[in-house]
Amino acid sequence: MRMEAQHMRQLTPTKKTALVFRGVVAEVIFSLALGALCVLICALVFQFKFSF
């Protein structure tokens, strides 16, 4: 943990900002992918009208 903190401190502000930006983008991509997967399930249920 301390090594990570030290590594973060050694980064230039530009590199640190880029790292944070990529982290935020990764989380946004995760949420969009999760949403897309669920929309696909909705579409399949809607299209094929499963009945039990």
Partner 1 sequence: MRIDLRLGLSIQVLVLDTTTMRDKRKLDDLKIVLYYSGKVIIGEAFLYFVPFVVALFRGEYASALDFIISFGFAMTIGSLLCTVCVTNRKPSWTHGMVTSGIVWIFSIAIFALPYWLSGHYSSYVDCMFDMMSGLTTTGLVLIQDLDHVSDSLNMWRHLLTYVGGQGIVVLALAIFYDNSGTGYSFYVGEGKDERLFPSVTHTAKSIWKISLLYLVVGTVALMMTGIFEGLSVGRAFFHGVWIFMAAWSTGGFAPMSQNVLYYHSTAIEAVSFVIFIIGSLNFALHDAAIKGDRKEIWRNLETRSMITTLCVLTFFMSWGLQKFNVYPSLMALVRKGFYHLASAHTTTGFMTVYPGQLAKEWGDVALLAIIIAQMIGGSACSTAGGFKGMRVGILFKAIVQDAKRLLHPSNAVVNEKYSYHGTRTLSDSQVHSAGLIVLMYVFIFAVAAVAGCMAGYPVIQSAFESASATGNVGLSTGVTSSSMPVYLKLIYIFNMWAGRLEFMAILASIGFFGSFFTGNKRKRAKEASL
| Closer residue to partner 1 in complex, CB, 14/46 | 46
Amino acid at 20: V
Q: Which stretch of DSSP H or E encloses residue 43?
A: helix 13-48
Structure tokens, 15: 């590199």
- C-alpha–C-alpha distance, residues 24 and 30, integer Å: 10
One residue of 4, 6, 12, 14 binding partner 1 per CB under 8 A: 4
Q: Does 26 bind partner 1 (CB under 8 A)?
A: yes
Binding site for partner 1 (CB under 8 A): 1-2, 4-5, 8, 19-20, 22-24, 26-28, 30-32, 34-35, 37-39, 41-43, 45-46, 49-51
